[in-house]
Amino acid sequence: MENLYPLFLEKIYILNPSQAFQILYKWAEKSFLKKSHTDKIFVLRDINLKEIYEYIPLHQLPVSYGGELPQLEQYWFNFN
């Protein structure tokens, strides 16, 4: 299956995923994802914020994660 889709990426960081995602990702990792792809996907579970800084620079993180970017929610459309 890994030959059916192209994957061009540098890295993907998934922060505090749900239990359902973790189960699906583990299955996909064992079933059909190439090692070269899984080496670029970082699933960071139950981490403290200092660990995130080892992977992601502060200027690329929102304030809620201790970074320097503004909260993106302020740009969302209010449906209420």
Going by the DSSP 8-state scheme, the letter that residue 36 receives in this structure is H
Given a cut of 70, whether residue 55 has pLDDT beyond it is yes
Given a contact cutoff of 8 angstroms between Cβ atoms, the answer to whether 49 and 40 are in contact is no
pTM: 0.58
Domains of the chain, residue spans: 12-66
Comparing 78 with 2, which gets the higher pLDDT?
A: 78
- Per-residue model confidence as pLDDT tens digits over 3-41: 656 667 778 888 788 889 888 888 988 888 888 888 888
Residue position matching structure tokens 């449906």 = 79
Predicted local confidence at residue 64, as pLDDT: 77
Residue position matching structure tokens 């200092």 = 50
